[in-house]
C-alpha cells in the first residue's frame, strides 16, 4: 500500500516541480509570505495570526498574479479553493488555484469559471489573459516600458504592503485605460503618500508622465510629500508664493499658494494649461466647491488623481461626483483587522449641561449665574452645545471638563502623548492653562520638564510646525499634550499619540474620521499598540461600520436645457440701498458653479441656467453672507429675486456666563468589544472577571503578596481593561490600596486606605520593628512611608537605591544592617505579609 505524502512533502515533491515545469522560477514564487500582521488583541502588542497563503505567484517582485493553496496528496485537489479565492480577492489578483500535486483546480475571476487542469498556466499566459481583460490588448511584458511591471523604488526599507500594491496597480490600470479622473479612498495611516510616490515613480520612469503637480491644503502636508519624493532629487521643487518655476518635473504646492496673485493673475495661471501631465490632490475631500476644483479646471488636460481618507458622505459628495467610484478602497476597519492600524477604545464623558443639549439663560439666571454681555450683543435665551465657546463662553464648563480630563490622564498615564481638539484658539488657551496647573506635579515626578509638556499648536503660533514634529518624534519627551483647534486634524503623522480628546463638537463624519485617524498609527518605538478616544461631546456617534467599499454613486446630472436666466438684485436689509460689487456664486448642480458680481445698481445676471432651482450665495464687504434658493426664469431682463443682506455689527464680544454648577453627568467606557459600560456596569464587569480568577479573599491575598504572581494577575486584569486605579476614582477612593479596591469589588470587603494599613502595621508590629538596629529600622520606616504613596511595589530591594534611602547609608551598609541580602529579602517579605494581615481584612 502506497503511503500518501503529507502537505509539506506534497509541496516539495509534486507542486514545486509542476510550477517549475510551467516556467515559474523561484524568484517569481513566494511561499507562506505573511501579507498581514494580524490584528492587535491587547495593549502589549500581542496579535492574532497573520494571513499567509501557501504560494503567491508574481510576474514581477511586487506584482502578484495568482494564489495557490496546497493540500496533501490524499485530499481532493479542490479542497483549498475557497481559501484560495478569499486570498485572491484580498490581494486583488484574478487567478486562484487549489491542488493536491496531481490535479489543479483553477478559478478565473475574469470569466467567473472554474476548471480542472493538469498543469499550471505559464507567467506569459497569465499576463496575456490579464492584459486582455484589463486593456483589450496584450501589453508588452517589459519592465522598461510597462509601469505595472516597472520596479518599485524602496526607500528606508519601506516595502509595499499587499493593499498598497493593489492600490498602485489599480491606479496605473485606470491611467493606462485613459481615465482622466482617478480616486483612491484609503483610511488615514495606510500610506497614501507612499502610494502616490510609487505611482509617480513608475509612470515617470516608463515615460507615461513627464511633469506632475502634487497639491495639499497645508504646508506640513506639502513638505511631508516633498520629503517622501526624495528619490526624485534634482527633479522636484516646492512652488512658493510669487514664484512659478518651470525648470523641474515634480512640483509640490498648497492650494493657497497656487491661488495667490502674481502679475495680476493667480499663480497657477503662470503655468501653461498643458504644463502638467498629472495632478495629485491630497485630502481631496475638501469640497469641490473649493479652490482645487478651479485649479483642476485650468489644468483640465492632465490626469486628476485624488486621494481621500473618507468614504462617500453627504459632506464630501461633490468629491465623489467629480471623481466617480474609487478605483480602490481600504477601510479603517480592514486596517485594524489586518494589524496595520491600531485598534481603539472609547471613553465617553457627558457634562450635565451638555446632556441637556444646551442651557437656558433664564433658568441659569434664576439659579444665580452671572451673565456678562457686551453692549449691542444680541442675547438669545437658549444656546445649544454646538454654540458653546463659539457664541457663549462657559469658564465653569471648560474648567470642569478639563479637570476631568486631567483626572483621566493621571489614571491612564500623564506622560502618554495626547491631542486635545478645542472649539477656538481662545478655548485652547484656557485648556492649556488648566492642564498645566492640574498635571505639572505629576509630570515633574516623572522627570519630564513641566514647563513645556502641554502646548497650544495652532497656525498663529510661530513654532507650530516644530512643535508638531516634536510631538511626532518618539525620542522627544515634550510636548506631551498638544491642544489644537484643527491644525492637527488631518495629514500630520504623529504615531506615538495615544489619546485623542474631543472637546469640540463635530457634525461632519469626514472631519471626525480625519481626527480619529491621528491615533490610528502603531508606534512600536513607544509601545503604542492601541489608542483611546476621550469623548466629551458625543463625537463618537459618527462612528460607522466602514468595512465595505462605498456604493457606486451616480450624481444628479442636470439634463438641461440650460437656457434660463437669473437676474437678481442685492440690497441693504435696513434701507434698501443697492449693494455694488457683491460676489455672487450660483451653484447650478454638483460641481457646476457660475460666478458674478453686482453692478452699481446692485444687479446681477447669470445665464445658462437650468429649469430647476439653483442655490445662490451672496457675499459683500461689511455684510453677513447669505445663501438662497432661486428659480431661474426664461426672462433675461426681469428681476427674479431681491436678496437682502444684513450689515455686520461691530465685532461683538461673546457672552460670558459664570457661576454655573457643571459636573460629570455620566461616563461610558467602550472597550474593544464595543460594549458600552457605565460606572455601575463597569464595576460589575470587574467583579465578574476578578471572581473568575480568584475564588476567595485569602486566595487574592496570597496572589498579592508574591511580586511575580501579583504582576501577572494585574496584567491579566489590564488585558480585560480592568484598572484598579480607575475603579478607585469611580468609587471616590483614590487613597485606597489597589488590593482593597479589588477586594471590595469582588468580595464586598471594606475599603482601607494605604495610610490605614501603614498605621495599623506600625501599631501592631511595633515590637517587631523595634527589634532591628537603628539603620535597618530607619530603612523599614522609610519603605512604609513609600508604600503610603506608591503601594506594595515600594516594599522592594529596588527602592533601596532611591536618594532618600541612600542618605541613610550605602547599599552594602544597609544590607549588612539586616544581616545579609537573604535576611533583608526575608524581612521585606515579612513586612509585605504583615501589611495585609493587619487592619481588619484578612
3-state helix/strand/coil string of 28-96: HEEECCCCCCCCECCCCCCECCCCCCCEEEEEECCEEEEEEEECCCCCCCCCCHHHHHHHHHHHCCCEE
pLDDT at 672 over 80: no
Highest mean pLDDT among 278-282, 375-379, 545-549: 278-282
> Greater confidence, 649 or 258?
258
C-alpha cell at 202: 513608475
Output the CA torsion sign for 186, 188, 191, 197. Answer: positive
Flag whether pLDDT at 509 surpasses 90: no
Confidence of residue 318 (pLDDT cuts 50, 70, 90): low
> Does the pLDDT at position 715 exceed 90?
no
- If one compares 840 and 3, the residue with the highest pLDDT of the two is 3
pLDDT digits (tens, 9 = 90+) for 139-160: 888 888 899 999 999 988 889 9
Q: Looking at residues 662-679, what average pLDDT do you find? A: 62
For residues 239-262, give the mean pLDDT: 89
Is 265 a residue whose pLDDT tops 80? yes
Mean pLDDT on 788-803:
80
For residue 700, count other CB atoms closer than 10 A to its CB. 24
Give all strands of the β-sheet with 626-630 in edge-to-edge order. 592-597, 583-589, 614-619, 626-630
Q: What is the pLDDT of residues 623-667, one digit of tens each?
A: 888 888 888 888 888 888 999 999 887 666 777 777 878 777 666
pLDDT at residue 288 above 50? no
Q: Tell me, what's the pLDDT at 506?
A: 83
Q: What's residue 403's pLDDT?
A: 94
Asked if residues 427 and 402 have their Cβ atoms less than 8 Å apart, the reply is no
| Eight-class DSSP state of 649 | P
What's residue 552's pLDDT?
Answer: 32
Q: Output the CA–CA distances (angstroms, integers) from residue 671 to 339, 502, 719, in the order listed.
A: 17, 17, 11
Chain segment 577-605, per-residue pLDDT in tens? 999 999 998 877 655 668 899 999 999 99
Tell me the C-alpha distance between 828 and 559, whole Å.
Answer: 86
| Alpha-carbon gap, residue 548 to 54, rounded angstroms | 26
Q: Which of 25-34, 476-485, 617-626, 805-814 has the highest mean pLDDT?
A: 25-34
SS3 string, 234-254, reads: CCEEECCCCCCCCCCCEEEEE
Comparison of pLDDT for 477 and 273, the residue scoring more = 273
Average pLDDT over residues 531-555: 64
DSSP state, residue 159: P
**With contact defined as beta carbons under 8 Å apart, do 539 and 609 qualify?**
no
Instruction: Give the per-residue pLDDT at 560.
Output: 64
Cβ contact 168:195 at 8 Å? yes
**The predicted structure's pLDDT at residue 550:** 32
* Residue whose cell numbers read 499587499: 162
In CATH terms, the fold of domain 564-645 is Immunoglobulin-like (2.60.40)
Rounded mean pLDDT of the chain?
A: 85
**pLDDT for residue 501:** 94
Work out the pLDDT band at 289, boundaries 50, 70, 90: very low
Examine the pLDDT at 287 and tell me if it is beyond 50. Answer: no
Residue 559 DSSP class:
-
DSSP class per residue in 656-722 = EEE-----EEEEEEE-TT--EE-HHHHHHHHHHHHHTT-SSHHHHHHHHHSHHHHHHHHHHHHHTT-
431: left (phi over 0), alpha (psi -120 to 50) or beta: alpha
Contacts of 747 (CB under 8 A, 6+ apart): 696, 697, 700
Residue 559 pLDDT > 80: no
Grid coordinates representing 214 are 502634487
Other CB atoms closer than 10 Å to residue 525's CB: what's the count?
Answer: 11
Strands 265-266 and 278-281, bridge-based pairing: unpaired
Asked if the model's pLDDT at residue 515 lies above 90, the reply is: no
Least confident of 171-175, 420-424, 564-568, 627-631: 627-631
Q: What was the pLDDT predicted at 242?
A: 80
Domain 344-542 falls under CATH 3.40.50.300: yes
Q: Is 95 left (phi over 0), alpha (psi -120 to 50) or beta?
A: beta
Q: How far apart are CA 347 and CA 538, in angstroms?
A: 10
For residue range 323-339, what is the model confidence (pLDDT) as tens digits? 888 999 998 888 988 99
Query: The domain 162-330: what is its CATH number?
Result: 3.40.50.300
CATH for the 7-135 domain, from 3.20.20.70, 3.30.70.20, 3.90.1570.30, 3.40.640.10: 3.90.1570.30
Least reliable range by pLDDT among 9-18, 301-310, 605-614: 605-614
**Average pLDDT over every residue of 679-683:** 78
Q: What average pLDDT score do residues 720-732 get?
A: 79
Average pLDDT over residues 82-102: 95
% residues pLDDT > 90 (the chain): 36
Question: What are the residues whose beta carbons fall under 8 Å from the beta carbon of 462, sequence distance 6 or more?
Answer: none
- pLDDT of residue 555 exceeding 80, the answer is no
Q: What is the pLDDT of residue 179?
A: 95
Helix ranges restricted to H, 453-581:
464-472, 509-516
CA gap 50, 38 in Å, rounded = 4
CA distances from 186 to 541, 547, 573, 783 (A): 21, 11, 47, 54
Phi-psi region of 103 (alpha: psi -120 to 50; beta: other; left: phi over 0): beta
Q: Which three cell numbers stand for residue 287?
A: 469640497
**C-alpha cell of residue 105:** 483546480
User: So what's the pLDDT on residue 840?
Assistant: 45
Q: How would residue 554 be classed by pLDDT, with cut points 50, 70 and 90?
A: very low
Measure CA of the first residue to CA of the last residue in the chain; give whole Å: 69
* 682/224: higher pLDDT: 224
Give yes or no for a contact between 288 and 263, defined as CB atoms under 8 angstroms apart. no
Cβ contact 307:281 at 8 Å: yes
**Residue 58 in this model has a pLDDT that exceeds 80:** yes
More confident site: 283 or 522:
522
| 213-244: pLDDT as tens digits | 999 888 888 998 999 999 999 999 999 988 88
Top-confidence range, 566-580, 686-700, 706-720:
566-580
Q: What percent of the chain has pLDDT over 70?
A: 92
Q: What is the DSSP code string of 735-772?
A: TB-HHHHHHHHHH-PPP-BHHHHHHHHHHHTHHHHHTS
Which pLDDT score, from 0 to 100, does residue 432 have?
Answer: 94
pLDDT at position 756 = 82
> Cα 381 from chain centroid?
38
| CA separation for the pair 823, 801 (Å, rounded) | 18
Instruction: Please give the Cα distance from 160 to 166 (Å, whole number).
Output: 10
Shared fold status for 162-330 and 344-542 = yes
Domain ranges of the chain: 7-135, 162-330, 344-542, 564-645, 678-751, 755-837
**Assigned C-alpha cell, 793:** 511595589
Q: Report, as an integer, the average pLDDT of 267-273.
A: 93
Amino acid at each position: 500500500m502506497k503511503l500518501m505524502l503529507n502537505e509539506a512533502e506534497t509541496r516539495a515533491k509534486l507542486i514545486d516541480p509542476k510550477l517549475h515545469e510551467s516556467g515559474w522560477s523561484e524568484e517569481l514564487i513566494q511561499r507562506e509570505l505573511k501579507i498581514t500582521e494580524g490584528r492587535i488583541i491587547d495593549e502589549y502588542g500581542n496579535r492574532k495570526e497573520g494571513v499567509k497563503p501557501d504560494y503567491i505567484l508574481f510576474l514581477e517582485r511586487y506584482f502578484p498574479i495568482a494564489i495557490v493553496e496546497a493540500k496533501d496528496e490524499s485530499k481532493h485537489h479542490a479542497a483549498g479553493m475557497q481559501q484560495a479565492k478569499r486570498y485572491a480577492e484580498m490581494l486583488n489578483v484574478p487567478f486562484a488555484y487549489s491542488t493536491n500535486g496531481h490535479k489543479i483546480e483553477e478559478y478565473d475571476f475574469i470569466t467567473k469559471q472554474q476548471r480542472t487542469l493538469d498543469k499550471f498556466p505559464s507567467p506569459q499566459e497569465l499576463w496575456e489573459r490579464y492584459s486582455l481583460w484589463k486593456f483589450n490588448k496584450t501589453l508588452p511584458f517589459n519592465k522598461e516600458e510597462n509601469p505595472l511591471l516597472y520596479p518599485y523604488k524602496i526607500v528606508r526599507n519601506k516595502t509595499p504592503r499587499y493593499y498598497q500594491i493593489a492600490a498602485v496597480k489599480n491606479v496605473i490600470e485606470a491611467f493606462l485605460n485613459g481615465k482622466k479622473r482617478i480616486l483612491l479612498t484609503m483610511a488615514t495611516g495606510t500610506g497614501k503618500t507612499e502610494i502616490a510616490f510609487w505611482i509617480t515613480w513608475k509612470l515617470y520612469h516608463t515615460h507615461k508622465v513627464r511633469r506632475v503637480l502634487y497639491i495639499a491644503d497645508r504646508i506640513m502636508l506639502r513638505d511631508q510629500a516633498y520629503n517622501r519624493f526624495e528619490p526624485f532629487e534634482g527633479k522636484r521643487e516646492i512652488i512658493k508664493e510669487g514664484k512659478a518655476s518651470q525648470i523641474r518635473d515634480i512640483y509640490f504646492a498648497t492650494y493657497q499658494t497656487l491661488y495667490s496673485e502674481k502679475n495680476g493673475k493667480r499663480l497657477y495661471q503662470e503655468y501653461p494649461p498643458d504644463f502638467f501631465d498629472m495632478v495629485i490632490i491630497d485630502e481631496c475631500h475638501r469640497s469641490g466647491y473649493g479652490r482645487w476644483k478651479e485649479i483642476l479646471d485650468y489644468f483640465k488636460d492632465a490626469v486628476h488623481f485624488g486621494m481621500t481618507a473618507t468614504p462617500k458622505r453627504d459632506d464630501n459628495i461633490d468629491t465623489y461626483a467629480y471623481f466617480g467610484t474609487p478605483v480602490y478602497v481600504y477601510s479603517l476597519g480592514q486596517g485594524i483587522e489586518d494589524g496595520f492600524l491600531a485598534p481603539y477604545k472609547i471613553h465617553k464623558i457627558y457634562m450635565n449641561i451638555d446632556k441637556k443639549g444646551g442651557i437656558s439663560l433664564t433658568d441659569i439666571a434664576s439659579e444665580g449665574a452671572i451673565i456678562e454681555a457686551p453692549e449691542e450683543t444680541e442675547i438669545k435665551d437658549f444656546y445649544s452645545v454646538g454654540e458653546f465657546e463659539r457664541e457663549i463662553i462657559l469658564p465653569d464648563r471648560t474648567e470642569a471638563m478639563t479637570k476631568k480630563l486631567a483626572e483621566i490622564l493621571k489614571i491612564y498615564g500623564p506622560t502618554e502623548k495626547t491631542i486635545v481638539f478645542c472649539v477656538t484658539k481662545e478655548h485652547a488657551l484656557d485648556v492649556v492653562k488648566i492642564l498645566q496647573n492640574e498635571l505639572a506635579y505629576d509630570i515633574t515626578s516623572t522627570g519630564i520638564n513641566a514647563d513645556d509638556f502641554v502646548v497650544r499648536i495652532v497656525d498663529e503660533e510661530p513654532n507650530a510646525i516644530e512643535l508638531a514634529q516634536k510631538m511626532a518624534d518618539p525620542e522627544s519627551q515634550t510636548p506631551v499634550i498638544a491642544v489644537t483647534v484643527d491644525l492637527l486634524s488631518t495629514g500630520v503623522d504623529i504615531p506615538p499619540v495615544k489619546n485623542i480628546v474631543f472637546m469640540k463638537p463635530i457634525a461632519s463624519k469626514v472631519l471626525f474620521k480625519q481626527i480619529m485617524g491621528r491615533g490610528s498609527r502603531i508606534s512600536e518605538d513607544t509601545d503604542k499598540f492601541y489608542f483611546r478616544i476621550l469623548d466629551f461631546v458625543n463625537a463618537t456617534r459618527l462612528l460607522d461600520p466602514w468595512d465595505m467599499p462605498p456604493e457606486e454613486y451616480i450624481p444628479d446630472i442636470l439634463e438641461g436645457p440650460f437656457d434660463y436666466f437669473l437676474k437678481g438684485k442685492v440690497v441693504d436689509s435696513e434701507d434698501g440701498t443697492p449693494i455694488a460689487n457683491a460676489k455672487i456664486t450660483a451653484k447650478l448642480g454638483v460641481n457646476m458653479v457660475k460666478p458674478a458680481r453686482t453692478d452699481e445698481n446692485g444687479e446681477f445676471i447669470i445665464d445658462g441656467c437650468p429649469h430647476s432651482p439653483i442655490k445662490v450665495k451672496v457675499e459683500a464687504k461689511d455684510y453677513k453672507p447669505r445663501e438662497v434658493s432661486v428659480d431661474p426664469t426664461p426672462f433675461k431682463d426681469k428681476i427674479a429675486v431681491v436678496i437682502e443682506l444684513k450689515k455686520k455689527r461691530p465685532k461683538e464680544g461673546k457672552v460670558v456666563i459664570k457661576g454655573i454648577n457643571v459636573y460629570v453627568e455620566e461616563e461610558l467606557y467602550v472597550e474593544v468589544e464595543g460594549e458600552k459600560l457605565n460606572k455601575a456596569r463597569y464595576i460589575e464587569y470587574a467583579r465578574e472577571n476578578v471572581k473568575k480568577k480568584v475564588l476567595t479573599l485569602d486566595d487574592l491575598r496570597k496572589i498579592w503578596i508574591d511580586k511575580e504572581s501579583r504582576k501577572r494577575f494585574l496584567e491579566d486584569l489590564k488585558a480585560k481593561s480592568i484598572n484598579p486605579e480607575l475603579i478607585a476614582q469611580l468609587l471616590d477612593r483614590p487613597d485606597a490600596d489597589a488590593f482593597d479596591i479589588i477586594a471590595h469589588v469582588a468580595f464586598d470587603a471594606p475599603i482601607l486606605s494605604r495610610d490605614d494599613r501603614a498605621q495599623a502595621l506600625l501599631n501592631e508590629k511595633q515590637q517587631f520593628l523595634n527589634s532591628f538596629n537603628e539603620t535597618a529600622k530607619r530603612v523599614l520606616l522609610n519603605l512604609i512611608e513609600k508604600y503610603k504613596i506608591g503601594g506594595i511595589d515600594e516594599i522592594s530591594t529596588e527602592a533601596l537605591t532611591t536618594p532618600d534611602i541612600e542618605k541613610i547609608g550605602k547599599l552594602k551598609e544597609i544590607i549588612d544592617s539586616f544581616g545579609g541580602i537573604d535576611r533583608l529579602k526575608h524581612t521585606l517579605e515579612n513586612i509585605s505579609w504583615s501589611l495585609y494581615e493587619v487592619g481588619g481584612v484578612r
